[in-house]
Amino acid sequence: MKGPADFELAQIAPVPRISLQAFCESPETARIIQAAATDRRMERAHVSVHLGGALAAIEAYRDAPTPNVIVLDSAAGRGELVSHIDALAEFCDSGTKVVVAGRTNDILLYRELIARGISEYLVAPFDVLEFIRAISHLYTSAGAKPIGKIIAITGAKGGIGASSIAHNIGFSIARDLDTQTVIVDMDFGFGTAGLDFNQDPLQGIAEAIFAPARIDENLVDRLLTKCGEKLSILAAPATLDRMYDFSETVFDSLIDILRATTPCVILDIPHIWTAWSRRMLVNADEIVIVAAPDLANLRNTKNMLDMLRSARAHDGHPKLIMNCVGIPKRPEISVNDFAKAVDLVPSGIIPFQPKLFGPAANNGQMIAEVEAAGKLADMIRDLARKITGRNEMGKAKRNLLDPLIMWFGRKQGSKANPGALRGASPNQS
C-alpha cells in the first residue's frame, strides 16, 4: 500500500524546458542526476553532468554563461561551502538558480545558503524522484517566478529586416548563451521564420490559435519545430487562404504556456498596429524596436516609444537597434541625430551588408553560420547578451557604440528637441 510520501512523489509536475548543469564530487550523486535526466518528468530539460564539484563550476563559468539551474554536489564543511558559493556568485547571471547537494543536515548552514540566494539545499543521499521533485518545485511552487522571459521584436517600418534580426538574435541566445529558446512568428500571412531556418513545418502557430479549446502544453510542444538542440520555432502558416483578424486577447493562453515552459521566448511581431500587437508589446518583458535611419522610421520610432513609455511607466526603456545603416547613395539621418530625437541610445548599429544577409536568407541560414568569426556575428552575439541581460563573457571588448554613448552621456538631463521631427530636412528620408 502506498503512503502519503509515495502519493506526493507521484504528483511531481513536469520540469519545464530549462538547461541544468550539475557539478558533482560524488560519482553516486552524478549517477542519480543522470538517471533523473531520463525520467519522463525531465524530458523537456537539457541536463549535463560533470565531475569536480564547486571548484569545477567556478572555473567553468569564468568565461561562459550560466544555465537556468546549477547543481553543486559538495562534501565541504560550512565555511568552505559558503566560500565556494560566494566565489560562484561572481560569475552567475541573474535568474540562475543554484541547488546545493551537501552532506550536513545543519539548519545554520541552510540559513546561510538561503541568505545568499541559494534556491534549494538537498541532504545527500537522496533518490531520483526526490531530486526531480526539488527541481520541479523551483518552478511550480506557490509564488515561484515564471521561468520564461518574453522578448518582443518589431520594426518601426515594414521591410527593414526586423524579422531577420529577431531570428538571428534568437539563434544566438540558443547557441551562444546556451538557453532554450522559442521564436514565435506572428506574421500569419507573410512570416519568414520557416524560410530563414530552412524548415517547412506542416503545423505551427495557426493550429494553436484556431483551436483555443485544445491549447495546452502538450499541443504547443507538438507544434514546435526544432531548429537546433536548444532552438525551436512556432512557424506562421504564410498562406493567404483565410483572413487573420484576431481579438486583443487571442494570444494570451499561448504566451502563458510558453512563459511557463521556456526560458526565452522571442515574439517576431509584424509591422502592424492592432489591439493584439499593441498588447504583445506592452506586456512583453523586453521590447526591441528595429529602425532604419530615415525620416519615416524616426517618426514611427518616436511614436512607438512615446506610447510604450506611457503604457509601461515602471518598466525599463525598450531597446533600439539601427539596421541597414550606410546604404550607398541613400541620404540618411545620422545615428547621433536619430538617438537625440527619440531620446534613446541604440543598443546596436547593424551596417548594410547585403553580401552577408542576402546569401544567409536565400540559403536558410543565420549570419553566424555564414561567417561565424565576422564582426556582424559578434554584433549579434553582443545584442543577444544585452537583450537578455546576460553577463559579458571572457575578456572585455571595446564597445563599438562607445563614441555614441559618450556623446549621449554629455547630453544627459537635456531632452530631445520637440521640433526635431518637424524640422528634419525632407531630403533626409
Q: Is the pLDDT of residue 323 over 70?
A: yes
Last residue of a domain, one of 87, 106, 140: 140
Does 106 reside within a domain? Answer: yes
From the centroid of its chain, how far is CA 210? 26
| 125 vs 301: CA distance, rounded Å | 57
Q: Do 227 and 273 reside in the same domain of the chain?
A: yes
With a CB cutoff of 8 Å and minimum separation 6, the contacts of 214 are none
CA distances from 115 to 94, 164, 357 (A): 16, 43, 48
Q: Do 135 and 264 reside in the same domain of the chain?
A: no
Q: Which residue has the cell 549621449?
A: 408
Count structural domains, the chain.
2
Q: Do 188 and 117 reside in the same domain of the chain?
A: no
Q: Do 321 and 391 reside in the same domain of the chain?
A: yes
Does 415 reside within a domain? Answer: yes
Q: What is the pLDDT of residue 24?
A: 95
Does 25 reside within a domain? Answer: yes
Helices 402-410 and 335-342: angle between axes, nearest 10 degrees = 40
Q: Is the pLDDT of residue 1 over 50?
A: no
With a CB cutoff of 8 Å and minimum separation 6, the contacts of 323 are 160, 161, 162, 165, 290, 291, 292, 350
Q: Do 133 and 180 reside in the same domain of the chain?
A: no
Does 414 reside within a domain? Answer: yes
Percentage, residues of the chain above pLDDT 90: 69
Q: Do 302 and 198 reside in the same domain of the chain?
A: yes
Grid coordinates standing for 324?
Answer: 541597414
Q: Do 132 and 246 reside in the same domain of the chain?
A: no
CA distances from 368 to 151, 176, 178, 326, 365 (A): 21, 10, 15, 21, 8
Q: Is the pLDDT of residue 413 over 60?
A: no
Last residue of a domain, one of 123, 140, 157: 140
Residue 253 is given by DSSP the state H
Q: Do 335 and 289 reside in the same domain of the chain?
A: yes
Its domain, for residue 69, covers 14-140
Task: Residue 242: give its domain's CATH number.
Answer: 3.40.50.300
67 exposure class (CB count in 10 Å sphere: 0-12, 13-18, 19+): buried
Does 5 reside within a domain? Answer: no
Residue pLDDT, tens place only, 20-47: 999 999 999 999 999 999 998 898 899 9
Residue pLDDT, tens place only, 232-258: 999 999 999 999 999 999 999 999 999
Q: Do 44 and 171 reside in the same domain of the chain?
A: no
Q: pLDDT confidence of 92, banded at 50, 70, 90?
A: confident
Q: Do 112 and 261 reside in the same domain of the chain?
A: no
* Burial per residue of 103-140, b for 16 or more beta-carbon CB atoms within 10 angstroms, e otherwise: bbeeeebbebbeeeebbbbbebeeebbbbbbbbbebbb
Q: pLDDT confidence of 11, banded at 50, 70, 90?
A: confident
How many CA atoms does the CB half-sphere of 278 hold within 13 Å?
15
Q: What is the mean pLDDT of residues 300-325?
A: 95
Q: In what order do the strands lie in the sheet with 286-291?
A: 225-226, 231-234, 181-185, 264-269, 149-155, 286-291, 319-325, 348-351
| Mean pLDDT of all residues belonging to the chain | 87
Residue pLDDT, tens place only, 132-181: 999 999 988 877 777 889 999 999 999 999 999 999 999 999 999 989 99
With a CB cutoff of 8 Å and minimum separation 6, the contacts of 351 are 325, 326, 376
Does 325 reside within a domain? Answer: yes
Q: Do 369 and 305 reside in the same domain of the chain?
A: yes
Q: Do 238 and 170 reside in the same domain of the chain?
A: yes
Phi, psi of 397 (to 5 degrees): -115, 155
Q: What is the mean pLDDT of residues 256-271?
A: 94
With a CB cutoff of 8 Å and minimum separation 6, the contacts of 59 are none
Last residue of a domain, one of 118, 140, 162: 140
Least confidently predicted of 52-66, 283-297, 388-402, 413-427? 413-427
Task: Residue 23: give its domain's CATH number.
Answer: 3.40.50.2300
Does 3 reside within a domain? Answer: no
Q: Is the pLDDT of residue 415 over 60?
A: no
Does 1 reside within a domain? Answer: no
Q: What is the mean pLDDT of residues 245-273?
A: 95
Residue pLDDT, tens place only, 205-220: 999 999 888 899 999 9
